[in-house]
Structure 1
Amino acid sequence: MTDHVHDLQSVREATDRLLTAAAKLDNAALAEESHLPGWSRGHILAHLARNADALVNVFEGRPMYESGTARDADIERDSGRPLLEQLEDVRNSAAAWQTVAEAPKDWTRTLELRNGVTDSASRIPFRRLVEVELHHVDLNIGYELADLPDRFTGQEIEFLAERWSGHPDVPATALTATDGRQWRTGSAGEPAVTVTGSAAALLAWLSGRADKGASLTTEGGQLPALPPL
């Protein structure tokens, strides 16, 4: 269930964790590969800063990005900066977003993101939390999916499971975490496939990260292939 007040505080805490961890890097480490193919750690930090700017635009009724091409160019432009400049940019852009996000507003309002996606204002803080938490993992500096807060992991599994709910190319699938939590995704009808594993492994599969579900067990069929995020 969406709780924007809790999510706003979680964003603040997750940002502090990421900045503290990234501050231990140096310029050379920043240029090394992240967990995302084709992106260095510098690309990750640049993206986080520009995403904060973009979500300010969303709250203020402007297009999230000028264009997909401009978004990619901005990330590429900023990816090679020195560590201290990167950290300052992430910190300042995050603080600016937090100020806008915490201002009084109609949390029931529908906002437009990119590529025609819309969402309730109340879900935007969680979307920012996803960016900060998962990209902290993507930095490849020792923070892994299993280290994510349990509440966040459950929320993100629910969010991604909802994304594929009703999708005709994904069979009806039951998700069961080893801690007892359950979700479902895929096309309508009684689940034909049951997927079981740790919450971190389920998140890895749904988000296309880590082992991408290789450690999960299935009943009733093979692990379903998911469309690109």
Structure 2
Amino acid sequence: MATLRAATDSLLDRAARLGSLGDDAVRAPSALPGWTRGHVLAHLARNADALVNVLSGRPMYASAEARDADIAAGAPRPLAEQLDDVRASAARLAQTAGAIPADGWSARCELRGGVTDVMARIPFRRLVEVELHHVDLDAGYTLDQLPADFVNREIDFLTARFAGNEQVPPLSLSAPDGTTWTTGAPPSDGDRVLVTGAPYALMGWLAGRTTGTGVRAEGGAVLPTLPPL
């Protein structure tokens, strides 16, 4: 939670600098196709409230349609209103998390689409939202500026998520320091496509933030297109 607070403050500080460009800055495109910066900020606020629901034992969102409608409705707001919303919703999440007893974090909870996890993973899931959407704001924070500990933990999470997925060929990922990960479908012949790159580049590719910038498939193999998360 302390790491999450620091990441949220960093995002708010950078987003506030957009104010020098006027409210048109929040209506400008983000790095996410079809979303403005306002969409990104509105999503972050509503995601915090959705995680309050999760930690409180309620459905994460009333429905997929309601989630999308809330983001669309919040996107055009002035920057100052957006920042106040992100800040207040983050405070509600922190307050809810602070009220959970130590032995309560081991309980299971339900997220979107029937996905379940232990409560203790919720702060990291929120950290992923904050860090990646900070990059998505396209306001000067880039993948290579993400904290190394976060990047490695997110690669662990994403490779576990793609493990056994028949839409993903058998992959072995390798960073310059020798750290390796495996993911994708089980190899029928024991071989995996070796993909190399700096950890932030590998994570950006796995997270769908790039199509492979800074990574390469070795041995003449073609870098595969990953399915959406």
TM-score bracket for this pair, using the shorter chain length: over 0.9
- Give the stretch that moved more between structures: 187-196 or 27-36: 187-196
Counterpart contact for 1:64–1:113, Cα < 8 Å: yes
Gapped runs of 5+ residues in structure 2?
Answer: none
Q: 1:209, 1:137 → 2: CA distance?
A: 9
Gapped runs of 5+ residues in structure 1?
Answer: 1-7
Match of 1:15 in 2: 8
Shift of 1:102: 2.5
Q: 1:117, 1:110 → 2: CA distance?
A: 10
Across the aligned residues of Structure 1 and Structure 2, the Cα RMSD in angstroms comes to: 1.2
Q: Aligned match of 1:25 in 9, 18, 26?
A: 18
Match of 1:5 in 2: none
- Percent identity reads 56
Q: Secondary structure at the match of 2:172?
A: strand
Match of 2:161 in 1: 163
Match of 1:204 in 2: 204
Q: 2:11, 2:121 → 1: CA distance?
A: 21
Shift of 1:218: 1.4
> How many aligned residue pairs are there?
221
Q: Secondary structure at the match of 2:44?
A: helix
Moved runs in structure 1, 4+ residues, more than 4 A?
none
Aligned-partner residue type, residue 91 of structure 1: R
Q: Secondary structure at the match of 1:184?
A: strand
TM-score (norm 2): 0.93
Counterpart contact for 1:173–1:194, Cα < 8 Å: yes
Q: 1:178, 1:30 → 2: CA distance?
A: 37
Q: 1:148, 1:21 → 2: CA distance?
A: 14
Shift of 1:17: 0.1
Q: Secondary structure at the match of 1:64?
A: coil
Shift of 1:103: 2.3
Shift of 1:134: 0.2
Counterpart contact for 1:206–1:226, Cα < 8 Å: yes
